[in-house]
A = this chain, B = another copy of it.
């Protein structure tokens, strides 16, 4: 095998990492969250558009605003998490493009003046960044618990009243708690997903 990373790193990021269902009460500092962002911000998005936004809940009060919008067992999981990131896309990311991608000055007013084009592009690129975020959390030695079972409209209304941001994913993160992991489910084989031409 020929990876540039060693087995320990590959295990931590991919092979042995699993979605945590419970968390310890060890806090996650704001400084730590900043370090994770300052790592993953470098990973690529189209035209460097960087549409991901993070609303990170650390206080009991903030968590209390989120929990009613989560479905079923996601409520209890989130109760135990020391930090919970609402990952959203900024549908007005184009405002930053003159600075983020100066080589194409027309992007903001030509390509991305259309709101539908913006939302489609932001949804894809913010989801790529959500993938980077999950791996960034693991790189920091923390466990991630991503969730899609929530009332998106309720979260958008509660946290993004101006309508510019839309939630994509909610991710609990921190040190894993007791009985944090379910048995690993099977994965599709290479033959099932890949065609090499």
Contacts and interface: CB of A to CB of B under 8 A. Distances in A.
Contacts of A136: 14
A41 B184 CA distance: 12
B100 A55 contact: no
A40 B14 contact: yes
B2 A35 contact: yes
B141 A196 contact: no
Contacts of A3: 35, 39, 139-141
Given A3-B35, A5-B9, A102 B185 contact: yes
A167 to B, nearest CB: 11
Number of copies: 2
Given A33-B196, A185-B100, A185-B101, A190 B38 contact: yes
B197 A56 contact: yes
Contacts of A53: 193-195
A180 interface: no
B2 A196 contact: no
Contacts of A187: 41-42, 48, 50, 100
Given A33-B194, A134-B128, A148-B46, A139 B10 contact: yes
A65 to B, nearest CB: 8
Nearest to A61: B197
A99 interface: yes
A122 to B, nearest CB: 11
Interface in A57-105: 57-59, 61-62, 96, 99-103
B43 A131 contact: yes
11 contacts: A3-B39, A4-B12, A4-B141, A13-B43, A14-B42, A30-B196, A33-B196, A54-B195, A100-B188, A127-B127, A128-B169
Ordered nearest first, which 7 A-B pairs have the shortest CB separation?
Answer: A131-B131, A4-B141, A127-B127, A62-B197, A128-B131, A41-B187, A46-B148
